[in-house]
Structure 1
Amino acid sequence: MNTKRVGNQTVVFQNPPFIISAYSIVGPKEGQGPLAQSFDQILQDTYAGEKSWEKTEQKMIETAIRQTIVKAQFTNQDIHYMLAGDLLNQMISANFTARQLALPFIGVYGACSTMALTTALGGMLIDGGFANKVVCGASSHHDTAERQYRFPTEQGIQRPLWGQWTVTGAGAVLLSDAGNGPKVTSATLGKVVDLGETDSNNMGAAMAPAVADTLISHFNDLNRQPDYYDLILSGDLGSVGFELLLQLLDKSGIKIGNNFGDCGKMIYSLEQDTHAGGSGCGCSAVVLAGDLLKRLNNGSLRKILLVGSGSLHSPVSSFQGESIPGIGHAITIEV
């Protein structure tokens, strides 16, 4: 009998992995936001000495993963797997980083839910006895995402008020079967939910139903109420998607308290005029590797639920008139 699986979608780790180190690197805009003090490195510009934004993004995730390993006082030879992903075609940022680091590599694509997904899968590898040390990471860059999914930044296209600002940043965590620090205690992997949203600027609306579905499954599987957690965060719904999430949960009878929030709403201030807030793989990655883990380590948080939110569309699907599928993957981190 498999006792690790609880309910329909949740895995509870019998030997929960420790998060023993983390590293976050962000762009200048993110470095001017409310969470600036929580990041390990803030770039002075969006190029960071590289010839293209795409090369900058690859450099960011490589730096985050290298420094996460260094902070834990390990070498690459100590790491059994690297799990990482990004938004660029065929995950080139993660793929090229794996080329540089020569680590056993599992590329993971969950769109903006990638950080939660890599951490969940890394936890499964360690709890299953397949690895002792796993590094997990994700990245995004505002200008690479705009160029791929919307318009070249040089055109200066006016963004709609419900649009979000893709975070320039990369975050990584190192999971270990032994050590000190917060533990990843469970994971609820989500299902694809698509209610027909077609506006690629309105990703919050596309992702909110999937996040709600995962949260409801998580609470049902574990027979928990939201007040079990000090903090419940969606990955990057932004202000529009977050309000839709709260409405969906309320209709489902979920008690909504002050412990609900969203990484995309946290990372920028209103004065920075990012409209609906932050988005991108790097959004929840840098908030987790920065602010959340610092608060878990200093004791101001003890139990958190992070639900990475992903918009699973592509330029090709959008051009063909397809709607935008959403996904939500949840991880529980406890001290």
Structure 2
Amino acid sequence: MLKGHQSWVFENKPKIISTATVVGPFEGQGPLAEDFDIIHADLYMGQDSWEKAEKTLLEESAQLAIRHAGLTKEEIQFYFGGDLMNQIISNSFAARTLSIPYIGMFGACSTSMETLAMAAYVVNSGGAKYVVAGTCSHNASVEKQFRYPTEYGSQKPPTAQFTVTGSGSAVVSPEGDGPSITSATIGKVIDMGITDPFNMGAAMAPAAVDTIQAHFRDLQIEPSYYDLIVTGDLSKVGYAIANDLFVRHNIPIKQTTYQDCGMMIYDYEKQQVQAGASGCACSAVVTYGHLLNRIKRGELKRILVVATGALLSPLSFQQGESIPCIAHAVSIEA
């Protein structure tokens, strides 16, 4: 059901009946390691290219999420997925392996909640019984496409972020054990004129705040409704800007209940990640691993996940375009 201008309320409360998270070795050294299902020991994962390794991450998380649900891939009606690679090739080639009816989506790093929102919408409306939503990213493949190959060894500014190597998938169903997806707010494209691809946090923060403000306005609730509100990958720079914007727009979000996935997955003291984490997998593995585990343990009852994405491409950057950004919010409740 449409609520307000840009939000859906899912009256049938679709369930996340299973998830799976697969990460690389660097993520396995971080503080959330125990929340991940598979931690790979190397970045190649038995493949001969970074891009093929990224596809492998997604294949593993999707197949594992289906097994966790006690299902076979033949029982899944649709797979919604996307990533950062050109023409979302990681998902398209993984969908070839999965052989599940496939809808490819692109929301840059907001793809985790974009796909989850659409999966919930289809299940809530009776359009499917089982839908998989998934996304992935790989540090070496993303850095090569959008900035510099990691082998180049270029020096990065403090505003730069470290792309997460990983994949997260979820199975959504009308009923079953697991938390409910109760609403979603679809974001608008916000462009503040930033052109620096090494400053994603500053570019994305206004889009995150705009979607959060729209969510509360549409649903007519206060931030205190949630035990925790997380953005996708603003990291230190964008997180500080978002907090300033909350004050400027009179949005009463307390820092005690607002966190960012990009600041949670790595250890700033021990791991050199500049401003923090980014990538499609950032919010996916933190949400489908760490946050849902906290819901299972009863530590959280209501969370709002606001995945953030910078919608640039190498082509737009080369032509001097600024960076349009977007954020999509999904509420998950025990």
User: Does TM, scored on the shorter chain, surpass 0.5?
Assistant: yes
What TM-score comes out, normalization by structure 1 length? Answer: 0.98
Residues 237-316 of structure 1 correspond to what in structure 2 (within 5 A)? 237-257=234-254, 258-270=256-268, 271-316=270-315
In the alignment, the residues of structure 1 paired with residue 236 and residue 102 of structure 2 have an alpha-carbon distance, to the nearest angstrom, of 35
Q: Is the partner of 2:80 in helix, strand or coil?
A: strand
Deviation at 1:16, TM superposition (A): 1.3
Name stretches of at least 5 consecutive residues in structure 2 with no aligned partner.
none
Percent identity over the alignment? 49
Residues 1:41 and 2:38 aligned together: yes
Counterpart of 2:95 (choices 81, 98, 106) is 98
- Give the superposition deviation at 1:14: 1.1
Name the structure 1 match of 2:24: 27
Report the alpha carbon displacement of residue 54 of structure 1 after superposing the two structures with TM: 0.5
- Aligned residues, how many? 332
Deviations 1:193-230 (A, max 9, x none): 00100000101111100000000000111111111101
SS in 2 for 1:60: helix
Q: Secondary structure at the match of 1:299?
A: coil
Matched with 1:51 is 48
Provide the residue aligned with 2:13 in structure 1.
16
What stretches of structure 1 move > 4 A for 4+ residues in a row? Answer: none
- Map of 2:316 onto structure 1: 317
SS in 2 for 1:113: helix
Q: Please list, as runs of the form range in 1=range in 2, the aligned pairs for 1:1-335 lying within 5 A after superposition.
A: 4-257=1-254, 258-270=256-268, 271-335=270-334
* CA shift digits 1:37-58 (9 cap, x unpaired): 1000100010111101110000
For 1:307, give the aligned amino acid.
Answer: V
Taking the aligned partners of 1:44 and 1:252, their CA distance within structure 2 comes to 45
RMSD of the TM alignment (CA)? 0.6
Cα separation, 2, equivalents of 1:56 and 1:125: 30
Q: For the residues of structure 2 that align with 1:115 and 1:36, how far apart are their CA atoms? A: 19
**CA–CA distance in 1 between the matches of 2:173 and 2:267?**
34
One-letter amino acid of the structure 2 residue matched with residue 262 of structure 1:
D
- Secondary structure in 1 matching 2:79: strand
Q: Supply the distance in 1 between the matched residues of 2:37 and 2:95 (Cα, whole angstroms).
A: 22
- Aligned letter for 2:267? S
Report the residue type matching 1:310 in the other structure. G
Separation of aligned partners in 1, 2:11 and 2:242:
31
Deviation at 1:128, TM superposition (A): 1.0
Of 190-199 and 152-161, deviating more is: 152-161
Gaps of 5+ in 1: none
Deviation at 1:233, TM superposition (A): 0.2
CA distance in 1, matches of 2:288, 2:183: 18
Amino acid at match of 1:207: M
Give the Cα separation in 2 of the matches to 1:295 and 1:24.
15
CA distance in 1, matches of 2:236, 2:229: 15
Cα distance in 2 between the residues matched to 1:124 and 1:222: 17
* TM-score normalised according to structure 2 size: 0.99
The offset of 1:256, in angstroms, is 2.3
Give the letter for the 2:243 counterpart: L
